[in-house]
């Protein structure tokens, strides 16, 4: 019955994501064999506290040398200083760009392979533009990346945008329909937060640092990739510098990732907002665990409404988060259009996300136009 429902709503399997070992794995192996000042380096998967303490013992030149020698590790190392990660990822991107441009001359490439290689080269070149702050980068498989808007170290409020299906390096940003891609979503949210509360120091992370489902297939209907993504999302939050409060903005399959992660997130995560969600692998908000407020929104023209909300074994993601029985606070999405329109400037959904992100809950509008939030104690955190 489940497979029939999935098939009749377009949730059929054509592709399945199976990440293979690649440059990142080789880089971590080299890192684990290296030393600095005669000392073994902490393992690449060490806790952020251990990584932070290790880099605190190094001189600036030692840090720089490690970033240059192991860019694919340092650039993805939770607990390393953000500025050092940006530096390392620029080095990793430069190497990846050289590699992709060289591949364009490979006579064995098919026309489709050549087109894909050219698109990756273009994306790497874009990510290398001055001023971009790349917090994570992995060229393995379809590629993973995360970018910061604002000053992550000084921020008092950090928002994380968690995107859904078909998110990879090439689709990380788009010139057509920019607000349907992680970069456009995060950039729009950061601008809206600054407009909503100019005195609040904010940063927004476009987080595409997990393997997302490719298309609306069995991977999108199951929780396997969400479980892996949840581990990465939790690690990201635990490794953030400072004591900033954190809000998650989870779109489509990204809301499944956030739902699975909810129970293990640290208390600094105050809010989880989902848009166009197929479910959070829970029957009600209380099943998510944790202490974060949960918000949900969906445009009336969003096709996700037609996806069956069920859960049987590994398939399906549970109750619709905008249903009254789920218990989330339902945000207004007035002005949004379709499944990819929630972060478009001028929409009520983006305005609401910004208010949640800066902690101005009293100004949040729920479905129907009423104000449904409550102000944080003491108002805005500045």
Does pTM surpass 0.85? yes
- What residues make up the domain containing 321? 2-363
* pLDDT surpasses 60 at 312: no
Tell me: pLDDT of 382 over 80: no
pLDDT grade for 315, boundaries at 50, 70 and 90: low
The token pair at 118 is: 């050219």
pLDDT attached to residue 219: 60
374 domain residue, yes or no: no
Do 332 and 349 touch, CB atoms closer than 8 A? yes
DSSP characters over 34-81: -EETTEEPPPTT--HHHHHHHHHTS-HHHHHHHHHH-HHHHTT-TTS-
**250 domain residue, yes or no:** yes
- Residue given tokens 């001028």 in the structure block: 346
Q: Cα–chain-centroid distance for residue 82?
A: 16
Tell me how many domains the chain contains. 1
Interacting residues of 264 by C-beta distance below 8 A, sequence separation 6+: 230, 234, 290
Domain assignment of residue 380, yes or no: no
- Does residue 382 sit within a domain? no
What would the pLDDT profile of 91-141 be if each residue is shown by its tens digit?
999 999 999 999 999 889 999 999 999 999 999 999 999 999 999 999 999
Backbone angles phi, psi at 19, to 5 degrees: -55, 140
Torsional sign, CA 261, 263, 268, 269:
positive
Burial track 220-233 (b if 16+ CB lie within 10 A, e otherwise)? bbbbebbebbbebb
CATH number at residue 278: 3.40.50.1820
pLDDT 10s digits, 12-63:
334 445 445 688 889 999 999 999 988 999 999 999 999 999 999 999 999 9
316: CB partners within 8 A, 6+ apart: 2, 221, 279, 308, 309, 310
Q: Phi first, then psi: give them for residue 315, nearest 5 degrees.
A: -100, 140
Q: Looking at the domain assignment, is residue 293 inside a domain?
A: yes
For residue 371, is it within any domain?
Answer: no
In a domain, 377, yes or no: no
Evaluate whether residue 139 is within a structural domain: yes
User: Residue 304 pLDDT more than 80?
Assistant: no
């Amino acid at each position: 019955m489940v497979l029939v429902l999935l098939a009749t709503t377009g949730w059929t399997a054509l592709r399945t994501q199976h990440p293979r070992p690649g440059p990142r794995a080789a880089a971590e192996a080299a890192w684990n064999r290296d030393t600095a000042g005669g000392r073994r380096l902490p393992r690449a998967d060490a806790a952020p506290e251990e990584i932070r303490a290790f880099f605190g013992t190094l001189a600036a030149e030692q840090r720089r040398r490690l970033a240059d020698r192991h860019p694919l590790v340092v650039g993805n190392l939770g607990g390393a200083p953000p500025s050092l990660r940006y530096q390392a990822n620029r080095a990793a991107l430069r190497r990846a760009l050289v590699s992709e441009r060289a591949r364009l001359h490979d006579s064995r490439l098919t026309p489709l392979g050549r087109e894909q290689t050219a698109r990756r080269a273009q994306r790497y070149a874009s990510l290398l533009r001055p001023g971009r702050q790349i917090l994570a980068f992995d060229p393995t498989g379809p590629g993973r990346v995360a970018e910061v808007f604002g000053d992550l170290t000084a921020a008092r409020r950090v928002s994380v945008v968690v995107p859904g299906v078909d998110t990879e390096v090439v689709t990380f940003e788009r010139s057509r329909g920019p607000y349907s891609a992680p970069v456009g979503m995060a950039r729009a949210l950061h601008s809206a937060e600054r407009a909503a509360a100019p005195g609040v120091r904010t940063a927004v992370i476009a987080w595409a640092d997990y393997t997302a489902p490719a298309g609306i297939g069995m991977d999108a209907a199951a929780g396997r990739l969400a479980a892996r993504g949840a581990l990465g999302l939790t690690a990201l939050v635990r490794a953030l510098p400072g004591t900033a409060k954190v809000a998650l903005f989870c779109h489509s399959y990204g809301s499944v990732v956030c739902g699975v992660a909810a129970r293990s997130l640290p208390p600094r995560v105050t809010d989880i907002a989902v848009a166009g969600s197929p479910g959070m692998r829970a029957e009600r908000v209380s099943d998510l665990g944790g202490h974060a407020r949960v918000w949900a929104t969906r445009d009336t023209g969003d096709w996700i409404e037609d996806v069956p909300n069920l859960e049987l074994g590994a398939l399906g993601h549970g109750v619709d988060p905008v249903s009254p029985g789920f218990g989330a606070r339902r945000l207004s999405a007035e002005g949004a259009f379709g499944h990819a329109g929630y972060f478009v400037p001028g929409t009520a959904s983006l305005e609401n996300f910004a208010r949640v992100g800066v902690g101005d809950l009293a100004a949040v509008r729920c479905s129907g136009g009423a104000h449904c939030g409550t102000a944080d104690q003491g108002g805005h955190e500045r």
